[in-house]
Amino acid sequence: MKRVSIVTLSALMLLGLLTSFNQKAVAQEAPKAVNVIYMIGDGMSLPQVYAAMLASNEPMTFSQFPYIGVVDTHSSSNDITDSAASGTALASDHKTKNGMVGMNPDTIPVKTVLEALSEQGKETGIVVTSYVTHATPAAFYAKVPKRSQYENIAVQMAENPYINLIIGGGMKHFIQRKDSINLVERMEKELGWKVYDTLADIDYSCKKYAVMANSDHMPKAAQRGDFLPRAVETALRTLDDAENGFFLMVEGSQIDMACHANDSTWMMDEMLDFDNAVKVALDYAKEHDNTLVVVTADHETGGLTLPDPKSKYSDVTFHYSTGSHTCLPVLVYAYGPGAEQFTGWMQNSDMKAKIMKACGFENFGDGLPEYDGPNIPAIRINHDSKPE
Residue span binding Zn ion (CB under 5 A) among the ranges 49-57, 113-121, 180-188, 295-303 = 295-303
Closest CA to 250 of 271, 274, 226: 274
Residue nearest to Zn ion (CB): 83
Closest alpha carbon to 254 in 369, 168, 164, 381: 168
Which string of DSSP letters, residue by residue, matches 254-271? HHHHHHHTT-HHHHHHHH
CA pair distance 150, 281, nearest whole angstrom: 29
* Cβ 48 to Zn ion shortest distance, Å: 12
Tell me the torsion sign for CA atoms 284, 293, 156, 134: positive
DSSP H stretches of helix in 160-241: 172-175, 183-190, 221-224, 227-239
Taking the complex as a whole, how short is the minimal distance between the CB of residue 169 and Zn ion, in angstroms? 16
Nearest of 125, 113, 70 to residue 281 by alpha carbon: 125
Least spacing, CB of residue 358 vs Zn ion, in Å: 24
298 part of the interface to Zn ion, by CB under 5 A: yes
Rule CB under 5 A: say whether 88 interacts with Zn ion. no
Q: Which stretch binds Zn ion (CB under 5 A): 178-186, 252-260, 264-272, 335-343?
A: 252-260
Nearest Cα neighbor of 132 from 143, 141, 123 is 141
Q: First CA to last CA across the chain, in angstroms?
A: 84
* 3-state SS class at 1: coil
Instruction: Tell me how far, at minimum, the Cβ of 20 lies from Zn ion, in Å.
Output: 48
Q: Which range, of 104-112, 233-241, 249-257, 312-320, touches Zn ion by CB under 5 A? A: 249-257
Region near Zn ion per CB under 5 A, out of 36-44, 146-154, 185-193, 267-275: 36-44
Of 72-80, 138-146, 202-210, 297-305, the segment contacting Zn ion by CB under 5 A is 297-305
CB of 43 to Zn ion, least distance (A): 5
Verify binding: residue 256, Zn ion, rule CB under 5 A: yes
Residue 188 identity: E
The reply on whether position 83 binds Zn ion by CB under 5 A is: yes
Interface with Zn ion, residue 270, by CB under 5 A: no
- Interacting positions 127-186 with Zn ion (CB under 5 A): none
Contacts with Zn ion, residue ranges (CB under 5 A): 42, 83, 256, 298
